Structure 1
Amino acid sequence: MPVITKTSSTSILEKGTHTFKISGYSSKHRGLGINKYIRSAAFAVGGYEWCIRCYLDGISTHNDHVSVYLHLLTMGAAEVRAVYTTRLVVPSTADVLTLHSTAAPVVFAGEKLVWGSPNWKKRSELESSPFLRGDCLVIECDVTVLREPRLEEVAAGLGFDLPPSNLSDNLRRLLETGEDLADVTFDVKGEIFRAHKIVLAMRSPVFKAELYGTIGDNGQDSIIVNDMEPADFKEMLHYIYSDSLPSIDDLNEVEGYNMAMRLLVAANKYAMERMKLMCESILCKRIDAKRVLFILTSAYRCRCGKLKDSCFEFINSLDRLDELLASQQYQILQRAHPAFIVDIWEKVAMSRKK
């Protein structure tokens, strides 16, 4: 006979609200196209990054509604349980109209990282409502992430003080002082780096294939790297062992930008999505008129959706596109990648369509 015991558990709630203001509804965004969306800036709730997607022309030819979705941006996250509410707001009067709310938690995981409502608001009703004022639409989204309490929180509730985790410190020391345990070496333009196959394989599927034989016959113990600078390879190893990129914060504006660009390419090469997102986040803050085409080119090559969106938003904000078109950088790109340039301006034209 099974023994039945009484159990209980506690869920931790972490809440946040994001306001998404869409200026120029009809002058800039209406007519963007079916199944095409504009998205909010990323915002953090519960330790995860999110954004709001708004399909002003709907998601299908038979849909005459504006569609709004919540998108979990954090890559590689385990299952994330959340409830959320989206609503229209008139800031000047504080009028609110709730249009979608989850009755129960939904799970953001795997291929299902986007949840929302295809029939959020009928377009004709929206355009004749007081919620579209001054050609501006304001959407608010409440997100509540539900998670199990961490061990530290459980221990604190029982009166215990657990020391902070030192796993990252131990791994970093392993990289810095554990040469006797290292089992793979990298020759990066003449500079030698020693590392540990198992750590690299856990962090990168490309390293796993390279070091344990899926690509080679029996895996490799010594690898020559010709497409990275030693300083960048050292920074990438630091990320692999510590999950951080602290050196970029210590560099000046130009050096930090250049390293972030190079590490973005490395993260894409070795399929390290979190590192790639960290580099995207750094580069999003460094977009300006001189850099935007370089950054956008890298975003295309490395398939960085968030970074591409930020570049397009910046280009759309420019008052004088003729200065960008006259730049030497644009002329070089036009000659080298004409199809890429056409794609850029098709997207810009669509977003500016009246």
Structure 2
Amino acid sequence: MLDSGFAEFKINYLQIKDFAIGSKQISEPISVGGYLWRIFCYPRGYSKELSKNGEYISIYLQLVSKHAKNVRAIFEAFLMYKDGTPSFSVTQRCANVYSPPPASVPYTMCGWDQFAKSSNLDPLHVRNGVVTITWGVIVARRVGDELIAVPPSDIGGDLGSLLDRGDGSDVSFVIGEETFPAHRAMLAARSPVFRAQLHGSMADATMPCITLHDINAATFKAMLRFIYTDDLPADHELNALDSPAEMLHDLLVVADRYALDRLKLLCASKIWDGVSIDNVGDTLCLAETHNCPELKSRCIDFLGQEGHFQKAALTDGFLELVQKFPSVLAELRQKFGA
């Protein structure tokens, strides 16, 4: 029997040259065949000798799960074209039997010292300054190795239903004509700001109903649902709004306000997907205002691409950015000589 799973791994193409040979990036683990797997990516190669002095990207698959014995797995990886389709010209596959490594070796890996030559990636494989590698694992199970099927966690759905029903709610938030019941313990567990507000010495700690004036109802509702379910609104829900981009901007702002770091990064990722010459100035201003260095870095790299800075500098958003944050302009000049 076979079990398989695939994931994407992204490399900032503009920063490849800044990596030291032997410096690695590690993917988030994925579960396949009852085991956890992840890849180690060396943007400038594992070593000078194996990567031809840093010309090649090296990637290797690691079995993360401890005490696994004789796990037969196929490791596959390929580049994605910038239009989102797989590249069959840069694809690799290898098979290996994973067993506990000797005591002198921290882990067992297989992969490729020369997966792809970095100088050949642009322009076919670079989109918005990012190179995407799709990687996956196919695990062969022996008869009798089948695991007892465990359904995926549905705690997000259960807590979302709790929010919808309002069972046991002990605090309410009023925004305009709308009221949102919630649970102090849930809010405090997820946000240090709510914890201080609802369990500290502030007046709100004893108030059953709190009126908010500086946030719109739709944004607060989306934030509240994230607190309970750990999810953004679905794409179809965002697309049904008059301005999905505005909702994401507003959500990022409240995520910063309530110290919901994961929500902020989820919003930043969605916002980054829509960055263009016309809005990069506004996006960079948003990132700088609300302390999102990950989004700021992507915007700066975007402006460093050929011709982007000159065009973006003529937009109203960029002019506002320069007025509010002249230090960002100085940073751009220092980095790109703009």
* TM-score exceeds 0.5: yes
Confirm or deny that 1:216 pairs with 2:209: no
The aligned counterpart of 2:326 is: 338
> Are residues 1:300 and 2:293 paired?
no
Cα distance in 1 for residues equivalent to 2:235 and 2:12: 32
Tell me if structure 2 keeps the 8 A contact 1:82–1:105: no
Cα deviations across residues 228-258 of structure 1 (Å, max 9, x unaligned)? 1011111111112222222553233861111
Q: 3-state SS of the aligned residue for 1:299?
A: helix
| Distance in 2, Cα, partners of 1:276 & 1:184 | 24
| Contact residue 324 and residue 330 of structure 1 kept, 8 A | yes
Other-structure match for 1:185: 172
Distance in 1 separating the partners of 2:90 and 2:171: 65
Question: Secondary structure, in 3 states, of the residue corresponding to 1:246?
Answer: coil
Deviation at 1:289, TM superposition (A): 1.5
What corresponds to 1:309 in structure 2? 297
Shift >4 Å, 4+ stretches = 12-22, 28-34, 37-40, 42-56, 80-83, 91-95, 130-136, 138-144, 162-166
Contact 1:14 1:46 in 2 (8 A): yes
Q: After superposition, what is the alpha-carbon deviation per residue over 1:11-35, rounded to whole angstroms, capped at 9, x for unaligned?
A: x99676858594xxxxx7698699x
Match of 1:233 among 197, 204, 220: 220
**Deviations 1:40-95, CA, capped at 9 Å, x for gaps:** 9x888449999967589xxxxxxx989x999xxxxxxxxx9479x9xxx9x98999
Corresponding residue to 1:155 among 148, 156, 175: 148
Relative distance call for 1:30 and 1:219 in structure 2 (3 A) is closer
Number of aligned positions between the proteins:
279
C-alpha RMSD of the superposition:
5.3
Task: Give 3-state SS (helix, strand or coil) of 2:174's partner.
Answer: strand
Identity %: 24
Residues 279, 317 of structure 2: 8 Å contact kept: no
The answer on 1:278 being equivalent to 2:270 is: no
Q: Give yes or no for contact 2:280–2:318 (8 Å, CA) kept in 1.
A: no
**How far did residue 193 of structure 1 move?**
1.7
Q: Counterpart in 2 of 1:104?
A: 106
1:117 maps to which residue? none
Distance 1:302 1:38 in 2: 29
Q: How does the TM-score come out when normalised to structure 2?
A: 0.60
CA 1:294–1:69 in 2, change beyond 3 Å: closer, same or farther? farther
Residues 261 and 46 of structure 1, relative CA distance in 2, 3 Å threshold: farther
- 1:244-255 matches, within 5 Å, as 244-246=231-233, 249-252=236-239, 255=243
One of 221, 236, 243 as aligned partner of 2:230 = 243
State the TM-score, normalizing by the size of structure 1: 0.58
Contact 2:277 2:311 in 1 (8 A): no
What is the match of residue 188 of structure 2? Answer: 201
The 5 A counterparts of 1:76-95 are 81=64
Q: Counterpart of 2:159?
A: 171
Instruction: Write the distance in 2 (CA, Å) between the matches of 1:154 and 1:281.
Output: 35
Between the aligned partners of 2:203 and 2:44, the Cα distance in structure 1 is 49
Q: 1:55 to 1:267 in 2, by over 3 A?
A: farther
The alpha carbon displacement at 1:279 in A equals 0.9
Deviation at 1:263, TM superposition (A): 0.4
Please give the alpha-carbon distance, in whole angstroms, between the structure 1 residues aligned to 2:177 and 2:282: 29
Higher relative contact order, structure no. (Cα contacts within 8 Å, ≥ 6 residues apart): 1
Structure 2 residue matching 1:192: 3-state secondary structure? strand
Distance 1:192 1:299, change over 3 A: same
Match of 1:99? none
What is the CA–CA distance in structure 1 between the aligned matches of 2:17 and 2:301, rounded to whole Å? 17
| Contact 2:277/2:308, CA 8 A, preserved across alignment | no
Unaligned 5+ segments in structure 2 are: 46-52, 67-74, 80-87, 93-100, 126-130, 138-145
Unaligned runs of 5+ in 1: 1-11, 23-27, 57-63, 71-79, 96-101, 107-120, 145-152, 157-161
User: 1: distance between equivalents of 2:298 and 2:135?
Assistant: 23
Residue 150 of structure 1 corresponds to: none
